[in-house]
Each structure stands twice: as structure tokens, then as C-alpha cells.
Amino acid sequence: MPASGPRLYCPYCYEGFTEQEIRFRCTGRISRDGRHCDPEIDEVLRSRTGFSGALPPAFAANGRLTSAICPRCGAESTTRVCPACHSQLPVHFGKVRSRLIVLAGAKESGKTVFMTVLVHELMHQLGEQLRSAISGADDSTRHRFASEYEKPLYRESQLLAPTTTAGMRNRVPLVFRFTTAGRGLFGLDGRVGRSWPGRGRPQHTLLSFFDPAGEDLRSQQSVEQNVRYLAAADGIVLLLDPLQMRGARQLAAPGSRLPTPGTTDDDPATVLENITDLVLATGGRKPDELISKPLAIVFSKMDVLRHDLPETSPLRRPPVQAPYFDERDSQEVHTEIQRLLARWEGSRIDQIAQLHYRNYRYFGVSALGETPTHDNRVSARGIRPYRVADPFMWTLAQLGAIPVKRG
Ligand SMILES: Nc1nc2c(ncn2[C@@H]2O[C@H](COP(=O)(O)OP(=O)(O)OP(=O)(O)O)[C@@H](O)[C@H]2O)c(=O)[nH]1
Ligand SMILES: [Mg+2]
Ligand SMILES: [Zn+2]
Ligand SMILES: [Zn+2]
């Protein structure tokens, strides 16, 4: 059978395949004629994800269908798995759009904290604001998010240990189902200058967040493992730590917890350069063409630099609370960061971005809202995020998944 149809990307391993190539996993239940398949270790799944439990076998069938008959035992199965890594695919996979959002950034730039706070916010206040709901798309995401991300940060007030390359498990992205109410419920009228598809009905989007270990992104060589992730990504959120920029570090509020001074590899401009080389390596464009993949360039830990901003800075005002993306507010933040880059000795960042990207935008966020304590715990005042949703909403708006309010 020829492999045809639109290319899909697995939200767990980011390999591409066609719908037809989707495989199934036997249920292991007894079939009508009394046969059944015993669970066994799935070597493909183990080598790709580290999962070493026993499961009934995976088998090939017509992946366009929602069920298939196991050739070994004759039982019907509706469990669809990725042909490349054998992860169980989320229920709506292939039928609803998936958006793969890759987080990138140097070691200690704040990726894990940012992702945890963003998802937590989407589950609570922000979800209400966007009239949306988010939930883990599989058991492993639900379990890992609650126990390894949310619990330490929100219940134990501990900042998370550096993400490591050694542990296989954290190399598997967390996959969420993000559901927004259709147009009718959004209550959008003349305020929003862009048509919005799928009126009235809920819109499902699968979101895959890959939170790499920063130590992976240090050198050109180790970064290459991430080429596949960047190639398949619909959007890239690059976290840069302003405290690794000489000009900004010296402006940090007294008493702020500063990151270990980095080498040139941790310098935000170098990080952007490395990522750009990788995106260029994924190909698909003429040598003189700009990269069109949306790139959100996010400066983290802005709480530490807030005191240095003028009263009128857009990075001091409360963020817009509305179920759409506010283009004007975002442009103002973008311009403000451009101004700050000069002050932080980071103008090179803007040169690299302009030279290579058609669609990039600057953001300033604080996941925690204030500096952690000296022993790296959340302050007694708790987590009070600032503008964490902006890069996410911009990326979704670029991908047509949420409405935009223009100037
Ligand atoms: N002031 C301030 N510090 C932060 C914030 N977010 C993170 N940090 C600090 O930055 C450290 C690193 O954050 P992580 O989210 O673990 O960084 P990471 O990019 O995931 O790091 P790796 O996993 O090593 O790549 C934290 O332990 C905090 O000390 C923030 O919003 N404000
Ligand atoms: Mg991390
Ligand atoms: Zn079977
Ligand atoms: Zn896969």
C-alpha cells in the first residue's frame, strides 16, 4: 500500500508518518474464538521511551480506520499506536489538529518552571479567561505532570532539579488536550478582526510540550539530537535568561538569586545562534529564504529586572485578560524588549533574529513572580506568574488556533 495522505507527527517522538501507517496494539483480551495475546516487552517502545513494562503486541493494519483485528489472536482493538515509537496515540490523534510546541533554552534558563506554571495556569485562572480546558492526553502525562512537575513546585515550594539527559522519561514530551469553546461561546463580535473557524463547536488541539535538558543545548554537537524535534515543531518557544547577559546581570535587584555564571555557550545570543543553525539544518527552504516557523523569544525571570523598567513600561502593566490574543499589547512588549536589548548588551540577538526569521516576537515573562529564596525555594508569598501565557497565545494565534484582536 502506498503511504499517502498528509504527514502527521507523533506528539511523543516527533517522527512523521501518514495516517495509514498508524499501528494498533492488541487489547490482550480473549477473542471470540478463545485465543489471546500475552503481554510482552515492546522493544521499540522501550528503546524510544524507556518504558519497560509488558504490553500486548503492536501490529500493522490500515491506520485510517478506528479499529483493526489483531492478526495473532483475532481480537478487535481500537488502541492506535505510533509506527515509530509505539506510544499509544491520543484519542483524537489525526482527526483533530496537533500542535507541537518545542521549548528550547540553555541550562537553568527556566524552561521547566515556565512550562509547569503555564500548564497549571491553563488548568486554573487562565483556562477560565480563555474559556478553555486543558488536560493530559494520556495517563503518563497526567501522572508525570502531577507528580514530577506540579507537586514539587506548588505543594512543596521546591524549584525543580535540573532536567537531565540521563533520565529517559523526561525526554518524552508531555501531551495535553487543549479545548476551546467555539465562536458562539467565545462571545466574539466586532472586537476581533479575524474570522474564527469552527463556530459554536468545541475545538480540540493536541499540544505537545518537549522540555529538553538545557545541557543538551549547549554545543552545536549535542543540540543536533534535537533537530528532529525542531523540524516537526509547529512553533518554537525559546527561553533566554537575561541574567546570563552581562548588561542585565548587573542591573538585577539586590538580593536576587543569580544563575551560575555561564560560559559563552550559555550566552543568550549564542543559544539563539545554535538554535537557528539547527532550524536551518532541518531544511525545506531556499538558501535566501527566511525561516517562517514562529519563534517566540522569551526573556525569563523578568521579576528580577522589573525595578529597572520605567513606570510606563508595558512590562509593568497588568496583562490583558481576554479570551483572545491582543496584538497591540504584544507589539508594545516586543518594542520594549528591543529597547532593553540595547541596555542589556544584547543587540546581537536582534540582529540574528532579523536576519533569519520572518515571524519572531519578543516576550518578557516571570513564571514565579519574584526571585526564589537563597536555598532555591518558592518565596513565602507563593507563585504569582506574570505574562506566562503571552508566548503560548501568540504561538497559538500564529497557528490559527485562537483569535487575534488587532490594534
Ligand atoms: N527570579 C526568577 N527565577 C526563576 C524563575 N524561573 C526559574 N527561576 C530560577 O531558574 C532556575 C532554573 O529553572 P528551571 O526551570 O529548572 O530551568 P531549566 O531551563 O528547566 O533548566 P535545565 O532543566 O537545567 O535545562 C530555578 O531553579 C530558579 O532558581 C522566575 O520566574 N524568576
Ligand atoms: Mg529543566
Ligand atoms: Zn492479539
Ligand atoms: Zn512516536
Paired sense of beta strands 174-180 and 203-210, if any: antiparallel
Closest Cα to atom 5, ligand 1: which residue?
Answer: 301
> What residue's CA is closest to ligand 1, atom 30?
301
173 CB-contact burial (10 Å; exposed 0-12 / middle 13-18 / buried 19+): buried
Q: Of 301, 310, 297, 308, which is closest to residue 338 (Cα–Cα)? A: 297
Evaluate: CB of 181 within 6 angstroms of ligand 1.
no
| Closest-lying ligand 1 atom to the alpha carbon of residue 105 | 19
Per-residue pLDDT, 103: 87
As given in the structure block, the three cell numbers for residue 200 are: 459554536
- Å from CA of 245 to ligand 2 middle: 20
- Name the DSSP letter for residue 198: S
> 1-8: which pairs have CB atoms within 8 A and are 24 or more residues apart?
1/62, 5/64, 8/93, 8/94, 8/98
Specify the pTM.
0.90
| CA of 47 relative to ligand 1 center, distance in Å | 29
Question: CA of 303: how far to CAs of 115, 256, 384, in Å?
Answer: 17, 9, 10
Res 358: pLDDT: 95
E strands, 82-193, are 98-105, 132-136, 174-180
Ligand 1 contacts CB of residue 105 (under 6 A): yes
**pLDDT by 10-residue block (mean), the chain, 407 residues:** 68 91 96 94 92 95 95 96 95 83 87 95 90 91 93 89 60 86 46 46 82 65 67 92 93 91 82 89 79 96 97 93 91 98 95 96 97 91 95 92 84
Asked whether 146 and 257 are in contact (CB, 8 A), the reply is no
CA-to-CA dists, residue 377 to 211, 242, 307, angstroms: 21, 20, 22
For position 193, what pLDDT does the model report? 38
Distance CA 384, CA 96 (A): 33
pLDDT value of residue 1: 40
H-helix or E-strand spanning residue 333 = helix 327-343
Distance from residue 45's CA to the centre of ligand 4 (Å): 9
Ligand 1 binding pocket includes 371 (Cβ within 6 Å): yes
- Would you state the pLDDT for residue 321? 86
* 382: Cβ contacts below 8 Å, ≥ 6 apart: none
* Helix (H) or strand (E) run with residue 237 in it: strand 235-240
Q: Is any atom of ligand 1 closer than 6 Å to the C-beta of 160?
A: yes
Regarding the beta carbon of 366 and ligand 1, being less than 6 Å apart is answered yes
Q: Is the CB of 159 under 6 A from ligand 1?
A: yes
Q: What is the Cα–Cα distance from 342 to 349, expressed in whole angstroms?
A: 10
pLDDT of residue 188: 42
